[in-house]
Structure 1
Amino acid sequence: MAELNGSPISLDHLQALALTNYGHFTSIRVEDGHVRGLFLHLARLARDCRAVFDVDLDLDRVREFVRRAAPPSGACVVRVTVFDPALDLGHVGSDAHPQLLVTTRPAGALPLPAMRVQSVVYTRDMPAVKSVGLFGSLRHRRNAQRAGFDDALFTDAESVISEGGTWNVGFVKGDQVIWPGAECLVGTTMELLRQVHPSSTATVRLGDLADFDAVFATNIGIGVRAISAVDGATFPETHPVIEQLRKEYTEIPVDLL
């Protein structure tokens, strides 16, 4: 399903998104018409719209379109992409009138098996914004997969770990969770977990990995997914804290769309 402002999207509008590729989005896991952290998704859309287009977003309209797109039962992922079809490469500085593209896809079963990641020096443009410009992230994901890994883990030139290609990373020491103290996109799953499980934030470098008992990734599509290897460093595919995080996440109260 793909609708622009509640109506089927035209080829011209899709072409504008594909060729100019300027905008932002959020992906929402909907289960039986309910969402965990709906307020976080809406706040992200509002914040990013102001940062990317210098205008305010009608969040009631967003919620209406998401509600229409999501099936009443079962699980799916609804993506809300905010872009202006009238902006093109030569006139991207014009006053913007952002439109709402709502698409859906099936939601995968959770939990997913552990994954292996390859570190790479890379920082996304405007890391705090969930932008549609994913070329760099996907290029590094492709390179990692062709090297035998599942995904890429980003660091800066000083080996400070920030985030994965489309997910946050967390580290386990004892019963504590440590989130990287680096500029990144704070995902809704990460934010919700910070509210229900003891955690702290610290600078984590690749050279610090031996100090941790387990590593995991989070986003709405993968939930809480163990990371079994970062480059040549290995970690358990299961760990009590990771299992506890999964349990705590599923117990978070849901919001009705």
Structure 2
Amino acid sequence: MPSFVVHRNGRPATTDDLAPLAFAGYAHFTALQVRGGRVRGLDLHLERLRSASVELFGRALPDERVRSFLRTAIEAGPADLSLTATVYSRPGEFTAADAGTEPDLLVRTGLPADGPSGPLALATVPYERVLPAVKHVGEVAKTYFLRQAARDGYDDAAFLDRRGRLSEGTIWNLAFWDGTTVVWPAADVLTGTTMSIVRRQLDRLGVPQDVRDVTPDDLPGLAGAVVMNSWTPGVPVHRIGSAPLPAAASFVGLLRRAYEAEPLAAV
């Protein structure tokens, strides 16, 4: 049987460690896939944890300590796994108190994931995340809108900002294809680590990219769309709202090639 772990600061978490976190909602995290004991985009995950910790707690754990906690959890499990690293502060939420110390890191491992095969149909929902640049926990709206979309016959939901622009999905970044250029939505979104990996590798491959407004009215003029997150660099989307989109297998293949060009590295 695979050995998966829940660690707090590099050691097995106890019931006393976990009980205060059962309903905690003031924390942030990063999620990643480990393959062969290695990960892609480690620098991006470390930067995400560091910057979000400074934003929420005013201080961050040193990168080397974070790496040691991640490494301990990875070495305790199988070569392929999913890992979630959550940073929190002991005073928790609903208080202005400051722990006065570095935040804690909870690391959880589990079965590896590759995401759905698609293609997906996405409902459109007017919604803007609070602190969109931070991957924070406790976002009830994302699950709520996912379930509402499923009830209405969709696979998931895509968000529209106050200007009517498509921004991101419930747990996904959005990317579009106009036939020659990869188009990223111009909106306040969480910049995903997979998104950042793909963008820098597309640059190295010489593939044109653009950041621009994408509204539902623009969809008929596009040649494809995908969602991506830590599971996958691209799940095809065949419909957003009432607008159908081409399958664009070549677009999905391009994104996968870009992602796989990022080397796997030891933690």
- TM bucket (normalised to shorter chain) is over 0.9
Where structure 2 has 5 or more consecutive residues not aligned to the other structure, the ranges are 203-207
Query: Closer, same or farther in 2 for the Cα pair 1:234/1:74, shift >3 Å?
Result: farther
Query: Closer, same or farther in 2 for the Cα pair 1:70/1:181, shift >3 Å?
Result: same
Counterpart residue identity of residue 251, structure 1? A
Counterpart Cα distance in 1 of 2:118 and 2:237 = 9
Where structure 1 has 5 or more consecutive residues not aligned to the other structure, the ranges are none
SS state at 1:43 partner: helix
Query: Closer, same or farther in 2 for the Cα pair 1:110/1:167, shift >3 Å?
Result: closer
1:19 aligned residue: 23
Which of 176-185 and 103-112 deviates more?
A: 103-112
Query: Closer, same or farther in 2 for the Cα pair 1:13/1:96, shift >3 Å?
Result: farther
* 1:174 Cα offset (Å): 1.1
Counterpart Cα distance in 1 of 2:165 and 2:229 = 21
* 1:111 Cα offset (Å): 6.9
Counterpart Cα distance in 2 of 1:146 and 1:222 = 25
Counterpart Cα distance in 1 of 2:45 and 2:244 = 33
What percent identity do the matched residue pairs reach?
33
1:249 aligns with 2:254: no
SS state at 1:185 partner: coil
Counterpart Cα distance in 1 of 2:93 and 2:138 = 15
TM-score, structure 2 normalization: 0.90
Count matched residues: 256
Counterpart Cα distance in 2 of 1:63 and 1:92 = 29
SS state at 1:236 partner: coil
Counterpart Cα distance in 2 of 1:86 and 1:95 = 6
Which of 42-51 and 185-194 deviates more?
A: 185-194
Counterpart Cα distance in 2 of 1:208 and 1:215 = 12
* 1:254 Cα offset (Å): 1.9
Query: Closer, same or farther in 2 for the Cα pair 1:157/1:109, shift >3 Å?
Result: closer
Which of 64-73 and 182-191 deviates more?
A: 64-73
1:173 aligned residue: 178
2:121 aligned residue: 116
Structure 1 vs Structure 2 CA RMSD: 1.7
* 1:12 Cα offset (Å): 3.5
1:51 aligns with 2:61: no
1:85 aligns with 2:90: yes
Query: Closer, same or farther in 2 for the Cα pair 1:189/1:179, shift >3 Å?
Result: same
1:212 to 201, 222, 225: 222
